[in-house]
A and B are shown apart, each in its own frame.
Chain A
Amino acid sequence: MLSLTVARKAYAQNLLYRSAHIMRTIASIAIGYVYACIWIGVGDNQSLGQYGMYGMLSYIAFNQACLWTIFTTNSLGIDGLVRTGQISVELMRPLPFFTYMASKEFGKIYYQFLYATIPIYLVYMLLLGIRIPERPETWLWTLLAIFFGAYISMCISYVIGVVALWTTESRWLGSLNWSVSSLLSGFFIPIEWLPGWLRPISMFSPYPCLQYIPTRLYMEMNGPSTLIISASWSIALTLLSIALTRILRRRLEVQGG
């Protein structure tokens, strides 16, 4: 299993910096707390629908913790590979390029899950007392949804990375994707509260699979049938990524470093 070895190596590489990443985790906890305070401020004299104040606090805190599972390398670093010419070497590896990049990224995501998502979740659970699922099977559905979310996020980054063949500024598309994701994934606002024109855009995009679906499952507000949406998007984006890889192989012009 070559791809597993690649993922393990990427995990080990990230593991080297785990003490340096402590500050990053603290900052993430602080930023999540700011978002929680915003909702506390909003809910001060308003009812917050089916969530309620405590529910929204749990919603935001869980989303902030899960953020690290969808926080992929910008463009998966493909733009850098094109710029330096290293991509010609990467394409020669005895592993399909998409599988290779995905394995590498999954090693990093697994590291972030263990060393960012879980600590942040535990801190919020202890300090904010966020809600915990009542049914044991909810944990399984939530973990599955998180896995799909991470995979979909990785596929989107891959597609953006491939755009580097046409423009040297694909990193900006990565940043824009991140902003669009913050809005449409339900990270800060549950999708049902988005303005009317934005709601259908979000619903028909893969973004809700990143945060909204896992969090609603975790909060036992939706059933496991929503995972079908995540699975469908995973298949669709995998096919798109494979198709784009074919174009990439034919279109490649190395900039020479």
Chain B
Amino acid sequence: MSWIHLYVKLAAASLRGQMQYKFNFAFSTLMVFGIFGLEFLMVATVIQKFGGIGGWNVYEVGYLFALMMFNRALYRMFASEVNGFEKYLIDGMLDQLLLRPVPVLLVLMTRQFRPMLGELILGSLILTICLKQLDAAGQIDWRLALLKTVPAILSGSVLTFAFGLSTAAVGFWTHRIDDLRRITDDATTNACNYPLTIYPGWMRLILLTVLPMGFTSFVPAMHIIRGEIGLWTMPATMLLALLLLIGALRLWRHGIMHYQSTGT
């Protein structure tokens, strides 16, 4: 049985388990929709009231928001437990996974598989509105922009996953990673919801080099909706995502060889 086939089977089993509680599933989807919708409403209110931020209008910032929402949703859909890896290290739950005759990462990624409908629906809604409005303003051709947005989301999700996996791998040495994740994931994701032009130079540099999360939204948006940089950014972003993924997988493999159970 191929790994992909096995992944699909295990993820489907996880999903079936969650669907036993249909009301809870629908309720949580609705709540996620409300939570992220309010978050966007909060920022959109300010940008609309003051006519833009750092030279970007509300629809351009909305596009960044939608990209980040898709990146986060796809990452959490396929690797929810990579994001919450600390409990496996602290509670000794990883020991059980190590006994299985399949790669640990594969089992981990099938656990708590969630379709993330709330984020995906809201993201699609914001993306559609923003692209249509930018098209109406003559700034883009929405069909072409949408076509380019798909690979941008894919490479952004891979980048986000690579960051999540690297952070999780650090846990093999430090055990506690939730607080580190707040910097590598929460803080950077939050920062990349907005155009990097509003940040001082040192912060922009960090978000484009040390923690290159700027490539998940800002850099693709600079080409797709602003047309300020060339098409080359698309393959360059994909290449960067691939390189970071390879690096994260290597770090994970190296870390798991040095894993010592907490014994709890």
Contact = CB atoms under 8 A, between A and B. Distances in A.
Interface string A1-41: 00000000000000000001111101110110110011111
A206 B27 CA distance: 25
Contacts of A26: 183
Contacts of A38: 43, 46, 53, 194, 198
B24 A168 contact: yes
A173 B183 CA distance: 25
Interface stretch (B75-83, B94-102, B133-141, B174-182): B174-182
Interface in A142-177: 167-169, 172-173, 175-176
Given A34-B194, A37-B198, A42 B180 contact: no
A41 B198 contact: yes
Interface stretch (B3-11, B32-40, B146-154, B215-223): B32-40
A27 B191 contact: no
Interface stretch (A67-75, A180-188, A225-233, A241-249): A180-188
B39 A179 contact: yes
Contacts of B191: 30, 34
Interface string B17-42: 00001011001100110111011011
Contact of B183 (A21, A30, A176): A30
Interface residues of A, number: 39
Chain A: interface secondary structure?
A: helix
Contacts of A188: 42-43, 46
Interface string A186-202: 00110001110010000
B95 to A, nearest CB: 22
A167 B190 contact: no
Interface string B35-67: 110110111011101111110000000000000
A50 interface: no
Interface of B: 21, 23-24, 27-28, 31-32, 34-36, 38-39, 41-43, 45-47, 49-54, 176, 179-180, 182-183, 186-187, 190-191, 194-195, 197-200, 203
